[in-house]
Structure 1
Amino acid sequence: MRGDSARLGGRWIRSASGRRAVGVVCALVLAVLGPPTVTPAARAAPAAQGATVSGQGTHTVVTWGASAERQGAGPADRSYRLIVRTSVGGTDPRIRLSNAFGEHPVTFASAYAGLRKQGAELVRGSNRQLTFGRAASVTVPPGETVLSDPLPGKLAAESDLVVSLYVTGAQGPTTGHGMAMQTSYAAAGDHAAEEGAANWTDPMGSWYWLDAVSVTTSARVGAVVTLGDSITDGWASTSDGNRRWPDYLSRRLQAASGTTVKGVVNEGISGNKVLADGAGESALNRLERDVLSHPGVSTVFLFEGINDIKAHTGVTADDLIAGYRGIIDRAHTAGKCVVGATVMPFKGWYEYDDEAEAVRRGVNDWIRNSGAFDAVTDFDRITRNPYDHQRILPFFDGGDHLHPNDKGMQAMADAVDLSALRCAR
């Protein structure tokens, strides 16, 4: 990898940061690929995603992801230009398309991947066709996912990757991620192959069908998945700025020389709970699909609980602790480290009361002192007002006394001990 440049199409091109890399152009030959990988969304195991490349000391690592949710009807004969930010860099990128919540098959007549120049415009020459079992189109049955063939070439860390999909068969509920905090674009008709922005006149704030991107990199490199709610999803951070706390964490990890954890995947859902479905499936119910199914994951970063507490449904500290233990046990069984984060203060939010605060304190005491997690990050202590521990520090308050602003997001990421993202498992 050379700085923040990327190579798609067998040549070096400029990444989103604008710096250029100089290298020798080499021909890349696409290996003979088998049939498309189509798996049930909740059972897409890493092994099914080509987790290792035999004899080369490399494996597949997830570089971007977003939690799948049930969305409204998706119109047919429409193109979607989805903009995502990579974390770890590597070669041979692959995308995962999900129909987890669809009730009908969905057909992707064409799919392309390139690099963004600005808005919906791509870097010239970067937009390349993706295939699925060497076919240009693929139909994904309800409840299943499909993995693209590897796209030969390099993809840099911290790049704005653009995935363009032309969808001809879509009806009923779709699968996507509602609160992207990133502007993507839609267009009537088939415009996936185009690099210009002229036809992409419909901005949108959600991602549809795309739920993961992976790359091939050193077998020593791993990824951390942040499993969370709206705070992790980025509510109150600056849209189109990549200022969610996992984004700040990714930038720290890319710059750090003392860690092999480089991938960061944001699996936050606004309103999500540990124990109950509602705003997306609960953390317990989506753990397999949103976390354990991704390739190259070494660590789960669990930061959820405030929505269970403030909903006043009778959830106790013991109930939440049991939920945490369930996630920890399943992640440990899968060989993953688990870092737990304390629940942040929320006095001033309209659902705050002394009863909910008592549950929060009980949960945080257990997170800090139980030893159940491989490591703990104390977001509560980092973000709370020193003069009123039940309130978020005004400097970090995004305005509603619950969600941190950009400064709060950065402080959270800075509080993570990078060495703690690896454990002896």
Structure 2
Amino acid sequence: MPRTARPRSRTAPAALSLCLALGCGSGGTPRGDGPAPPSSAPTGTGHDVVTWASSADRIGAAVDGRGYRLVVRTSVGGTGLRVRLSNAFGDQPVTFGNVHAGLRRDGAALVPGSNRRMTFRGARSVTVPAGGIVYSDPLPVRVPAASALVVSLYVPRAGGVLTGHWMAMQTSYTTDGDHTAEESGANWAQRTGSWSYLDAVTVRPRPAAGAVAALGDSITDGWHSTTDLDRRWPDYLARRLRTSPTTSVKGVANAGIAGNKVLADGPGQSALNRLSRDVLALPGLRTVFLFQGVNDIKVEPGATADELIAGYRTLADRVHAAGKCLVAATIAPYKGWQEWDPAGEAVRRKVNSFIRTSGEFDAVTDFDRVLRSPDDPERILPAFDGGDHLHANDKGMRAMADAVDLQSLDCGSR
């Protein structure tokens, strides 16, 4: 049963206008949820809402003199575009020499006239300390919902560890030297499947809107969805929210990391350790959608049901203490995956019973019921199986998004 949500004032449903314009117009947070160095998070911008996000991790060695042309998909439209650049896992300062934002035409090429310089407290460049993040100044323009936004970065000095998101399921581009101001893709011939440094984009929607962040693992990250087509389940959710008249939640942030766990660090910091930076710090956040736990169960030795339930309770306490709503999803079946065993299945069933009946959450979405086969409830329905018996394919991703009660994401406004 849903718990009583903490009341917040209702905002009007967003009627997003789509126009094609980009024009021109700073800090840190830590690696985990401990004390933070000074931050340049948006101030005096109470209507900023996250329109895209990915969760940061260590993804390799940083390289001096490198350019990155990063392609992302906005969820909610608005003015005042900001980007958040992260050095959360860096062990040395990183300097961003030039940053531009534009709209994608095709490949690495941009819509002519759309590529504009971004600044940081009025400066063209900014140095971010190890463990820090920085927000750009806002661009006084309107950015469409569902647009392919391209953020181009030049990093002249970047020694140490590279912070970014390894499994983007989206083709972006890299180059040597500074070609950020160019709208042609001619000098951006090298392809990458990762996002480097960029971990959030915000806008100011009109009318006002809120956002939901999906905290999860590789299923949320989109593994086995089709690359470059935005078919992760949070993408399908964003499409539903965009046209829904029943909720003012319009922004969607994908906080999934492949291999991530609730309790223990591994690929990415655990959900408990990254909650503040990757989720609660996002501007305009109204609701956290928790879909995580299978990686805690299927490893050897796996977490017990009681340990995982204790982790969920801690997450719930922290989300509610921050004044946000928490929607939880049941853990999907995974029989046929190499690490499945009856003991882990028993843990999954016990944890799912807790999710459904405990009342710890503002609402529950039953992904287990959506994805499981009626012939063998321990397995994913073959039509939804991405091929490894753990991850959903495009059709399964859409079924997951379709199962979400959109009004439950707006629970704090009722």
TM-score category, normalised to shorter length: over 0.9
The structure 2 residue matched to 1:256, chosen from 219, 224, 244, is 244
Task: Quote the residue 1:399 is aligned against.
Answer: 387
TM-score normalized by the length of structure 1: 0.90
Superposition deviation, residue 39 in structure 1: 4.2
Q: 1:310-349 maps to which residues of 2 (within 5 A)?
A: 310-349=298-337
The structure 1 residue matched to 2:132, chosen from 114, 121, 144, is 144
Superposition deviation, residue 38 in structure 1: 3.8
Q: 1:160-179 maps to which residues of 2 (within 5 A)?
A: 160-179=148-167
CA distances 1:200-256 after superposition (whole Å, capped 9, x unpaired): 010000000000000112474100000000000000000000000000000000011
Q: Mark the CA change 1:94 to 1:310 in structure 2 (over 3 Å): closer, same or farther.
A: same
Given residue 50 of structure 1, which amino acid in structure 2 is its aligned partner? P
SS of aligned partner of 1:135: coil
CA distances 1:59-84 after superposition (whole Å, capped 9, x unpaired): 11111100000121121111100000
The structure 2 residue matched to 1:288, chosen from 247, 252, 276, is 276
Higher relative contact order (CA 8 A, sep 6+): 2
On the 8 A contact 1:82/1:163 being kept in 2, the answer is yes
SS of aligned partner of 2:85: strand
Superposition deviation, residue 312 in structure 1: 2.5
1:6 matched to 2:17? The reply is: no
Question: 2: CA distance between counterparts of 1:200 and 1:162?
Answer: 12
Superposition deviation, residue 52 in structure 1: 5.0
1:87 matched to 2:75? The reply is: yes
Superposition deviation, residue 94 in structure 1: 0.3
Question: 1: CA distance between counterparts of 2:265 and 2:144?
Answer: 36
Aligned length: 397
On the 8 A contact 1:224/1:297 being kept in 2, the answer is yes
Question: 2: CA distance between counterparts of 1:299 and 1:146?
Answer: 24
What RMSD in Å do the two structures reach over aligned CA positions? 1.8
The structure 2 residue matched to 1:49, chosen from 32, 35, 41, is 41
Superposition deviation, residue 398 in structure 1: 0.3
1:217 matched to 2:209? The reply is: no
The structure 1 residue matched to 2:214, chosen from 215, 226, 230, is 226
On the 8 A contact 2:90/2:162 being kept in 1, the answer is yes
Q: 1:10-409 maps to which residues of 2 (within 5 A)?
A: 36-40=26-30, 42=32, 49-50=41-42, 52-53=44-45, 59-218=47-206, 220-409=208-397
Given residue 137 of structure 1, which amino acid in structure 2 is its aligned partner? S
Task: Quote the residue 2:5 is aligned against.
Answer: none
On the 8 A contact 2:17/2:77 being kept in 1, the answer is no
Q: Mark the CA change 1:63 to 1:41 in structure 2 (over 3 Å): closer, same or farther.
A: farther
On the 8 A contact 1:59/1:219 being kept in 2, the answer is no
Q: Mark the CA change 1:357 to 1:2 in structure 2 (over 3 Å): closer, same or farther.
A: closer
- The answer for unaligned runs of 5 or more in structure 1 is 11-29, 31-35
Higher-strand-fraction structure:
1
Question: 1: CA distance between counterparts of 2:29 and 2:319?
Answer: 21
TM-score normalized by the length of structure 2: 0.93
Question: 2: CA distance between counterparts of 1:397 and 1:243?
Answer: 14
- The answer for unaligned runs of 5 or more in structure 2 is 1-14
Question: 1: CA distance between counterparts of 2:270 and 2:30?
Answer: 18
On the 8 A contact 1:51/1:296 being kept in 2, the answer is no
On the 8 A contact 1:41/1:98 being kept in 2, the answer is no
